[in-house]
Amino acid sequence: MGVKFTKMHGLGNDFMVIDAINQSVELGSEQVRLWSNRNFGIGFDQLLLVESTQTPGVDFRYRIFNADGSEVQQCGNGARCFAKFVYDKGLTDKTEITVETASGIIVLYVEDNGWIRVNMGPPNFLPHSLPLSVPSEQETYELKVDGESFEVGAVSMGNPHAVLRVTDIRQAPVNQYGPALESHALFPERVNVGFAERVDDTHIKLRVYERGAAETLACGTGACAAMVVYRNWNEVADEVTVSLPGGDLIVSWSGDRSEPVWMTGPAITVFEGETTDV
């Protein structure tokens, strides 16, 4: 028996989405890697698994697997696709959807225009939350790789992010230094690396080298991380347009660490399919 799936994307960050409520699915890392292959498989940045939950007041459980087969805690673009999937498939008729993830509870809102607004929860700057192996929190941290030194801000948006300033996003050394920064010794569980150009106080341009997936066309948690790091540096306003290679997201945060980050953007269904084997 094959597995029915839906191919989706959020600003070009693409996903294989599987309903594991109405069909039996057993996943291993090797299977995920085979499906993720863009030449011999389906091809995707992440696989999203929709599961039922036993947690009171929660509608679904949401699991995320990178293209390399590793399971991760959170994915912002994936969360928007998750909301559109369960709503379009009739798994719920709610426009406010509460979802359990490996990093906690998130709330997804289906807007009238079809966009999805996500309550990403408060950002966490504490080093142990990423984890980041330093003795205390700082506004910036120095990372040395390949003889170069980079100053980064670091935050957890349910998954770890390092954000560094660049003056020209087109010339950002994403592929040159992204792999080494992702696997830097100070981040024992690796890190997503955002190369961020501040245009003005309401606009950031961003490219992200994602943990376990290399550079993607868009990263929702990366957009949130870039905004909150710049907001923490008092360099942007409470609402910012974050422009990624795949398109724009709207991210808002008051600067109060007890308040949630809000992310709004599109989610698109590309096609339906069924695998020939599992």
List the catalytic residues: 75, 219
Per the listing, tokens 């950031």 go with 204
User: 241 Cβ partners below 8 Å, 6+ apart?
Assistant: 202, 203, 204, 248, 249, 250, 251
Phi, then psi, of 181 in degrees rounded to 5: -70, -40
User: 181 Cβ partners below 8 Å, 6+ apart?
Assistant: 143, 145, 150, 152, 162, 191, 193, 209
Q: Are 164 and 176 in contact (CB under 8 A)?
A: no
HSE-up of residue 251 (Cα within 13 Å, Cβ side): 36
- How many Cβ atoms from other residues are within 10 Å of residue 41's Cβ? 16
